[in-house]
Structure 1
Amino acid sequence: MTWVGRERRFSSIDVEAMKVSTGGERVRLEGLYVRVSGSGGQESSLEAQERELRATSTGEIVKVFRDRSSGLREDRPGLNALLRAVADGSVTVVRVTHEDRLARFGVGWLRHLLAIHGATLEVLHPKKLGGREELVEDFVSVVAMFAGRLYGMRSAENRRRLLAESGQCQVGGG
């Protein structure tokens, strides 16, 4: 839904999602999604996100979906499981602490996908950025992702070289 002046305008996807609803009060079947970018040392962040989402829940929490991966990756097991739960109707509300926990880009597409299946997205702390600030934030995210991959590749090459020097593996063969 968007506001144009004093009017509310609904997209066709929103209208279809409303048709799917049963007319009465819908049961809130909440899927909580928490994500951290790396695998090490960020367990407390996952727990903090989950605690905050649980504390503000107003429906039945079906499951907490977790990922330890970049928000730019499309092959996140937790996100894929969440989308399957939305598609089969076992989750009607997806909740995240911040929009970028769900995805760095393409959140609008995910909102449409959820609406097609009659689900909604709730963000506890929505962004309050203007167009320029949001663009700069997106650019910094992309640069940070590529820098992380570059350092990861260098680190893997250095490990292989050190192992080869110690005679524990062959260079080039893995």
Structure 2
Amino acid sequence: MSNLVTVSEAAELLGVSTRTIRRWESEGRIKAVRTEGNHRRFEVSELLGKNKDASLTVAYARVSSNDQKEDLKRQEIVLESFCSKNGWSYELISDLGSGINYRKKGLIRLIKLICSYQVERLVLTHKDRLLRLGGDLIFTLCEIFGTEVVIINRSEDSTFEEELTKDVLEIITVFSARLYGSRSDKNKQIVQELKEVAKDLK
């Protein structure tokens, strides 16, 4: 993204409407520069600076598939209870999708909130609920943008071998589903065989 953004890009970055951006400019809360064609442009650094005092807590839950919806509900209950117990005003974001999928709607919203200085803390039930692969990248973003990361069940984190097995299983499951279709008999057979191999590895 260029350091100069349009009205619509500024609105998306801050999570507000374009009407709000124009109102803030007219009130002098943010400054716009004008292009040769007299179009408004806003500096990203100034826009982000406007949100540095935000104190939003985001509770994030995720499961990989539809048959894990009960687990998703349990995560949500744990997160809501934990945030309420600590007296935090929070927003709950839930995702249904693979842990190696970076394009999940909730994850994208979470990243936008973090990168616009709106999130004071991120709460997870387990570290791997964020992403199976690449979670450390999001944690680095949290560090850069001043977001505290709270993981409720750190003591239940898997061993390196267990994590690796889960990652390999999920990668092959995703690619076999794309190749054969998630409901095909061939895909189900591949997944079942992988699970049997994984059991022998543990």
User: Are 2:63 and 1:36 aligned?
Assistant: yes
Q: CA deviation at 1:46?
A: 1.4
Structure 2, unpaired ranges of 5+: 1-48, 186-202
C-alpha separation between the residues in 2 aligned to 1:154 and 1:45? 27
Give the aligned partner of residue 84 of structure 1: 112
Q: Equivalents in 1 of 2:101, 2:137: separation in Å? A: 15
Q: Pick from 171, 177, 182: which aligns with 1:145?
A: 171
RMSD between aligned alpha carbons?
2.8
* 1:30–1:59 Cα contact (<8 Å) kept: no
Quote how far apart the aligned CAs of 1:118 are: 0.8
For the residue of structure 1 that corresponds to 2:76, the secondary structure is: helix
* Residue aligning to 1:99: 127
Distance 1:51 1:140, change over 3 A: closer
For CA contacts below 8 A with separation 6 or more, give which structure has more relative contact order: 1
Aligned to 1:75: 103
Q: 2: CA distance between counterparts of 1:156 and 1:81? A: 26
Per the TM alignment, residue 42 of structure 1 is displaced from its structure 2 partner at its CA by: 2.5
CA distance 1:138–1:85, shift in 2 (3 Å): same
Q: Give the match for residue 11 of structure 2.
A: none
Map of 1:12 onto structure 2: none
Equivalent residue letter for 2:136: G
In structure 2, give the amino acid aligned to 1:126: R
Q: How is 1:16-165 mapped onto 2 (pairs within 5 angstroms)?
A: 29-38=56-65, 40-57=66-83, 58-126=86-154, 133-151=159-177, 153-155=179-181
Does the 8 Å contact 2:55/2:120 carry over to 1? yes
TM-score under structure 2 length normalisation: 0.56
The alignment partner of 2:95 has SS state of strand
Greater helix content: 2
C-alpha separation between the residues in 1 aligned to 2:99 and 2:172? 13
Between the two proteins, the alignment pairs up a number of residues equal to 132
Structure 1 unaligned regions, length at least 5:
1-19, 21-25, 160-174
